[in-house]
Amino acid sequence: MAMNREIVIITEDTYGGEFFKRLLNRLRNEELADIRLKKLSGRRNPIHAPYLCNPKLGKILRASELSKPDFIVYDGDSPSNYKSRRRDVEKHIPRNIKTPVKMLLFEHEIEEWICRSLVYNWAIKPSDELKRREGYAKHKLPDYVSKLDFKKLRNNCKSFQEFLKLVGD
């Protein structure tokens, strides 16, 4: 049996942080994934990352080394921007950092998990579809953890499958 460990998550915004806290707790409580989670450590974990091209991200990662940062989460905004967005995030990870930092980058945005769970198709952005159908606003993101359909996400969502691998390592 694997030992429990602390997980540190650095998210793009504060609502994403609360979303991931609730998500990890739900996955653990429902025993739906092999998450060996001791706790989310740190004063404010998940940590709200600064915008890209801000040297503060590198400082946060170096300072987080003591608490072993596990991964950074950013929206890709669109599949056409995915590769350049990934490079933008990677160049802000210090080369000499001792703890390996993994990255979860969505093709669109985290709201794609919600749309896939609710079987909503989107034309431009998943968050726009949620706004249209449900009056969604970003501050409501954490409340949608209870609406996630893990079976659908496991079977049909590459970023969710990648997320499960990241937290299960």
- What is the average per-residue pLDDT within 110-119? 95
In a domain, residue 23? The reply is: yes
The model's pTM? 0.75
In a domain, residue 117? The reply is: no
pLDDT per residue as tens digits for the range 71-99: 666 677 677 777 777 777 777 666 666 66
The CATH number of whichever domain residue 27 belongs to comes to: 3.40.50
What pLDDT sits at residue 59?
57
In a domain, residue 137? The reply is: no
Domain count, the chain: 1
CA distances from 47 to 42, 71, 115 (A): 8, 11, 25
Q: What's the rounded Cα separation, in Å, for the pair 169 and 156?
A: 21
What pLDDT sits at residue 134?
95
What pLDDT sits at residue 2?
44
What mean pLDDT, rounded, does the chain reach?
A: 74
Q: What's the rounded Cα separation, in Å, for the pair 68 and 85?
A: 24
87, with CB counted inside 10 A (0-12, 13-18, 19+), is exposed
Alpha helices (H) along the chain = 14-29, 56-64, 82-90, 111-118, 126-134, 150-156, 158-168
CB 19 within 8 A of CB 144: yes
- Out of 53-57, 102-106, 111-115, pick the least confident: 53-57
In a domain, residue 59? The reply is: yes
In a domain, residue 36? The reply is: yes
In a domain, residue 118? The reply is: no
In a domain, residue 76? The reply is: yes
CB 43 within 8 A of CB 138: no
What pLDDT sits at residue 150?
93
Q: What's the rounded Cα separation, in Å, for the pair 56 and 138?
A: 23
CB 32 within 8 A of CB 7: no
Domain with 95 in it: 5-108+156-168
